[in-house]
Amino acid sequence: MAWIRSVLHMLWMTLTVIPWTLAVLAVSLVASRTTTWWVAVSWFRVAMWGTRVILGVRMEVLGLENLPLGKTSAAVLLSKHQSTLETLWLPTLMSHPLAFVFKRELLKVPFFGWSMARLDMIHIDRASRNVAMKHVIDQGRRLLAQGNWVIMFPEGTRIPRGEAGTYQTAGTRLAVESGAPVVPIAVATARCWPKRGFVKHAGVVRVSIGPMIESTGRDPKALMREAQAWIEAEMRCIDTEAYL
């Protein structure tokens, strides 16, 4: 049954992403980035509907009250990364347009990558770390000033369930230089949507949004250690069985 559900879900994603990509491309030619972003988010909501109904995945959210308030509030979101699911889910929870930091190769993905290319995000070449860091800070400061929230996966890649990667400091460096607070996010999406493998499973996945951590006057490395400590501790709360 899980395999059949997964096939149907893939068909749903494929059939819906094509018209939405065309809509994003068209809107981006005549409208602002903000308007184009919310058009894209409407597809994320459709994708999440399919995840709930077709795959049988139930989603629970903790800590929404920890997000900054106000139309001009800035934030750097630092999230655990386990699967594709959180990249679709998190935008539907946020009141601000997001600017993802991602590897440049994703722009080559048909339709999905083409849409991302029109959304003025931060795509980096991971082969050149120093250049990538400068690009994140320069572009991140510009996007934050425009009212976007920057979201990063500080471990740099999807991490298997129950494990931790190496947390990089690009996100906290951006926060310190821009004065934006850090918001740590723990996600337990690999319970149902694994890092690798086609088959997804019904069940409950959780995302937990932590309290804001002020960045003013902080050392980026110490700030990242604090965010990491919260994320990894919270992972053991929202997916206890993975850490037994």
* pLDDT tens digits for range 124-138: 776 667 777 888 899
Give the orientation angle of helix 129-145 with respect to helix 170-178, to 10 degrees.
40
Any domain includes 225: yes
> For tokens 């065309």, what's the residue?
22
For the chain, which residues score pLDDT lower than 50?
Answer: none
Is residue 18 one of the residues assigned to a domain? no
Q: Give the amino acid at 156.
A: G
Q: For 172-205, write each residue's pLDDT tens digit.
A: 999 999 999 999 999 999 999 998 889 999 999 9
- CA-CA distance, 170 to 175, in Å (whole number)? 9
Label the pairing between strands 149-152 and 76-79.
parallel
Rg (CA), the chain: 17
User: How many residues are given for the chain?
Assistant: 244
Residue 222, in any domain of the structure: yes
N-terminal to C-terminal alpha carbon distance within the chain: 28
Please report the pLDDT score of residue 127 as a whole number.
Answer: 67
* Residues contacting 107, CB < 8 A, separation 6+: 113, 114, 116, 117, 123
Task: Kindly tell me the sign of the dihedral angle through the C-alpha atoms of 80, 94, 16, 100.
Answer: negative
How many structural domains is the chain composed of?
A: 1
Determine, yes or no, domain membership for 196. Answer: yes
CATH (domain of 193):
3.40.1130.10
**Domain range holding 137?**
57-243
190, 235 in Cβ contact below 8 A? no
